[in-house]
Structure formats: structure tokens, C-alpha cells
Amino acid sequence: MTPEQLHAWRGRLKLTQAQAANELGASLTAFRGWQGGKHPVPHYIALAAWAVSLRLLLKQAEEIEDRRDAEAKPAKVQEKPHNHKS
């Protein structure tokens, strides 16, 4: 993963540098070094980035499915109370 790819990954996920570092389990200083090209992006960080992307994608899919299920359920019909005359 190049610094440009790391930057693009962060942009697609709409993460700040601090959020991206946290998601990857890295320090902000290390993340800035990788994204700025000061240090090469380690392979394990590239793998972690893919894992984070997959986790967020699956989370979005679950949320969409939950909304679809909620919309598909028929609304409960409330029964009118019976008027009993004694």
C-alpha cells in the first residue's frame, strides 16, 4: 500500500487521521508518517486497512438489511376495545 492509497482509503471511509490510526491500532504519529510518505506502510497495516473496510462494509449491509426487515413487517393492528353492557 502506498501513502496515496492509504490517504485514499481514509478518504473513502471519511475518517480523520486520528480515527484511521485508532481503527488500525496505530499511533497518530505512525499513521502520519505512513500517509505522508516518511515511512513505508507496513504490510500488516495494509491488511488491517482491508479488514477495517470489510468490517464497516458488513456493518452497513446489516443496517440495510435491518431497515428492510423493519419495513417489511406488517404494522400491528390494534383491536378496538369491546363495549360490554351489563
CATH of the domain at 64: 1.10.260.40
> In the structure grid, which three cell numbers stand for residue 14, read together?
471519511
Residue 2 neighbours by CB under 8 Å, 6+ apart: 41
Q: Is the pLDDT of residue 82 over 70?
A: no
DSSP string over 57-83 = HHHHHHHHHHHHHHHHSPPPPPPPPP-
Here the cell at position 30 is 505512525
Q: What pLDDT, on the 0 to 100 scale, is given for residue 66?
A: 86
Structural domains in the chain (count)? 1
Q: Give the amino acid at 17.
A: Q
Distance CA(12)–CA(52), nearest Å, equals 12
Q: Quick one: pLDDT band at residue 85, thresholds 50, 70, 90?
A: low
User: Domain range spanning residue 62?
Assistant: 3-72
Domain contains 83: no
82 belongs to a structural domain: no
State pTM to two decimals: 0.71
Residue 67 belongs to some domain of the structure: yes
17 belongs to a structural domain: yes
